[in-house]
Amino acid sequence: MGVILEPFLYIIGLLINIYVNIVIVEVVLHWLLHFGVFDMSNRLVRKTIEVLEALTHPVYQKISRYVPPLAGIDFSPFILLIALLFVGRLVFRLQHLFL
C-alpha cells in the first residue's frame, strides 16, 4: 500500500512547498512595493504581481471571511502559511510512515 501512496504524497508535499514559496514571494514583493523599492510602472513587476495575486487572493478571500483584517493588517497570508506548513509536515510524516 505504501508503494502506491508514496508518489502521491511526494507530489502533494512538493505542491505545498511550491505554494508556500509563492505566498512568501508575493508577501515580500508587496512589502517591497510598499517601501518603494519596486514601482508598479515596471511592466515585469506589474505582471508578476498580477500572476501571484491570481494564485493567492482566492485563498486569502476565503480566509478573510473568518479572520477580518486587524488594525489594517491582513493576516490571511500568515494564516495560510501556518496551515500549509502544518499540512506539509503532516504529508511528510505520512510519507515516512508508509516507507
Q: How confident is the model at residue 12 (pLDDT cuts 50, 70, 90)?
A: very high
pTM, rounded to two decimals: 0.88
At 99, which amino acid appears? L
Whether pLDDT at 3 is above 80: no
The pLDDT of residue 99 is above 70: no
In angstroms, the CA 46 to CA 30 distance is: 11
Residue 98 has pLDDT above 80, yes or no: no
Whole-number Å distance between alpha carbons of 53 and 27: 10
Res 35: pLDDT? 93
- Confidence category of residue 66, pLDDT binned at 50, 70, 90: very high
